C-alpha cells in the first residue's frame, strides 16, 4: 500500500505527461541530465539491469544503448499507463521487458542482476518500505553488483532560495522533505552494502549514489 504522505504513485494524466513535466521543471535540462547520470553508471555491454519504478521507459532506452543487444533490462512499475508507455517507447529493444510489480513487496530475484537502478522513486516511501526496497535490490544483485540510486541528495531545505523552496514544498510530498535529512548510506550499510561512490548534480541537490554489494 502506498503511504498517504507520498506522491510517487502517479495517476493516468500525470503518467501521460510525466516526461514533459520533468523537462519543464528543469527548463529543458532533464534529457541532458539523465544522460550524464547514466554515463556515470559504469555500464558495459552484456550487463543486466533491474529498474525499480521504470516510469515511461526513457531511462531504460538510454541504458539499453550502453549494454547492447546481449544485455538485459527488466523494468518494474505498478502504473498500467506507465507500463503501456514504456513498452511502446522501448519496442525497438527486445532485450527490455517491463512487469507490473510493487517494488516494496518481496521479489523473487536472487543474484540475477549486475545493476539495480532507481530514479526519483525511493524518496516517496516510508522508511520501513525503503528498507524492503533496498533489501530487494540487495537480493537481486549478483555479488559485486551495484545499486544505483538517483534521487535528492541530503541538503537543508531552509537554505534553498525562497521561491524554489516553496515550489519544492508545494510540488513534492511530505516524504520527499524527510528524505533530504535521511542518512541513506547508513540505511544501505544496515542492509549489507559496503562501498559507496556518489556523483552530484544540480549544485549538489541531486545525487547518483552507487552502493556495491
Ligand atoms: C517519479 S516517477 C519516476 C519514473 C522514472 N524512474 C524516471 O526517473 O523517469 C515514479 C515511478 O515509480 C512508480 N511507482 C510508484 N510506486 C511504486 C511501487 N510501489 N512499485 C513500483 N513502482 C512504483 C510510478 O508508477 C512511477 O512510474
DSSP assignment of the chain: ---TT---S--HHHHHHHHHHHHHHTTT-HHHHHHHHHHTT---TT-EEEEES-TTSHHHHHHHHHH-TT-EEEEEES-HHHHHHHHHHTTT-TTEEEEE--TTS-----S-EEEEEEES-GGGS-HHHHHHHHHHHHHHEEEEEEEEEEEEPS--GGGS-HHHHHHHHHHS-HHHHHHTT--HHHHHHHTT--EEEEEEETTTTEEEEEEE-
Name the residue at shortest CA distance from atom 11 of ligand 1.
Answer: 53
Residue ranges per domain, the chain?
Answer: 12-212
Q: Report the separation in Å between the CA atom of 42 and the middle of ligand 1, taken as the mean of its atom positions.
A: 23
pLDDT digits (tens, 9 = 90+) for 113-131: 999 999 999 999 999 999 9
At residue 193 the predicted structure's pLDDT band, cuts being 50, 70 and 90, is very high
From 77, 100, 126, 171, give the residue whose CB has the most ligand 1 atoms within 8 Å, as the site to mutate. 77
Q: pTM, whole model, 2 decimals?
A: 0.96
Asked if the model's pLDDT at residue 1 lies above 80, the reply is: no
pLDDT digits (tens, 9 = 90+) for 138-171: 999 999 999 999 999 999 899 889 988 998 888 8
- The reported pLDDT for the residue numbered 84 is 98
Mean pLDDT of the chain: 95
Superfamily for domain range 12-212: Vaccinia Virus protein VP39 (3.40.50.150)
pLDDT digits (tens, 9 = 90+) for 32-78: 999 999 999 999 999 999 999 999 999 999 999 999 999 999 999 99
Q: With the CA atoms of 35, 41, 47 and 49 taken in that order, what torsion angle do they form, in degrees rounded to the nearest 10?
A: -80
pLDDT over 90, % of the chain: 86
Name the residue at shortest CA distance from atom 15 of ligand 1.
Answer: 9
Query: Closest ligand 1 atom, CA of 102?
Result: 20
> Which residues, judged by CB distance below 6 Å to any ligand atom, belong to the binding site of ligand 1?
8-10, 53-55, 58-59, 76-79, 82, 102-104, 119-121
Amino acid at each position: 500500500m502506498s503511504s498517504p504522505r507520498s506522491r510517487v504513485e502517479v495517476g493516468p494524466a500525470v503518467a501521460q505527461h510525466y516526461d514533459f513535466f520533468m523537462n519543464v521543471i528543469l527548463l529543458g535540462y532533464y534529457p541532458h541530465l539523465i544522460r550524464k547520470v547514466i554515463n556515470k553508471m559504469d555500464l558495459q555491454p552484456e550487463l543486466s539491469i533491474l529498474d525499480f519504478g521504470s516510469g515511461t521507459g526513457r531511462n531504460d532506452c538510454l541504458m539499453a544503448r550502453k549494454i547492447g543487444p546481449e544485455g538485459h533490462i527488466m523494468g518494474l512499475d505498478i502504473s498500467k499507463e506507465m507500463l503501456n508507455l514504456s513498452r511502446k517507447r522501448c519496442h525497438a529493444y527486445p532485450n527490455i521487458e517491463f512487469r507490473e510489480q510493487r517494488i516494496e513487496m518481496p521479489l523473487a530475484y536472487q543474484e540475477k542482476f549486475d545493476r539495480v537502478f532507481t530514479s526519483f522513486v525511493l524518496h516517496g516511501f516510508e522508511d520501513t518500505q525503503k528498507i524492503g526496497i533496498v533489501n530487494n535490490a540487495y537480493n537481486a544483485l549478483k555479488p559485486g553488483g551495484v545499486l544505483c540510486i538517483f534521487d535528492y541528495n541530503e541538503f537543508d531545505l531552509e537554505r534553498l532560495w525562497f521561491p524554489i523552496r516553496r515550489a519544492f514544498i508545494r510540488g513534492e510530498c511530505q516524504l520527499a522533505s524527510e528524505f533530504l535529512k535521511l542518512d541513506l548510506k547508513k540505511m544501505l550499510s544496515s542492509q549489507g552494502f559496503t562501498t559507496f561512490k556518489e556523483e552530484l548534480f544540480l549544485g549538489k541537490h541531486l545525487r547518483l549514489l552507487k552502493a556495491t554489494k
